[in-house]
Amino acid sequence: DIVMTQSPDSLAVSLGERATINCKSSQSVSSSSNNKNSLAWYQQKAGQPPKLLISWASTRESGVPDRFSGSGSGTDFTLTISSLQAEDVAVYYCQQYYSIPRTFGQGTKVEIK
């Protein structure tokens, strides 16, 4: 199984400041067939189901604010919130869809400082 490890477990950021979440996979999730990384980011607000933010490591879903961006390749990935807003308070998960079983990171809780 591919193990996904996020860091940090939690972070507190001031409104308008940058938040950065890291995700590391135990093996590469890069596909040679399409030259894409099978890595997604999800946002889960309290009491709600997760919401897909980013697929293929860096492709923002329709309707997701452009302050959210994803980067990385191979085994190391980053989710960046460029200017944290109050509505961004949530737990963020990375997930690989390169192989079965699909696996998630343990989650990173983002709060306002």
* Residues of the shown chain interacting with other proteins in the complex, contacts defined by CB under 8 A: 38, 40, 42, 44, 49-52, 55-56, 61, 93, 95, 97, 100-107
Contact 98, 2 (CB under 8 A): yes
Q: How far is the CB of 16 from other proteins (least distance, A)?
A: 28
Q: How far is the CB of 85 from other proteins (least distance, A)?
A: 22
Cβ closest to other proteins, residue 25 vs residue 95: 95
Cβ closest to other proteins, residue 17 vs residue 111: 111
Contact 103, 80 (CB under 8 A): no
Contacts of 110 (CB under 8 A, 6+ apart): 10, 11, 12, 13, 19, 21, 81, 84, 88, 89, 90, 91, 92
Q: How far is the CB of 82 from other proteins (least distance, A)?
A: 22
Cβ closest to other proteins, residue 67 vs residue 102: 102
- The span from the CA of 2 to the CA of 64, in Å, is 27
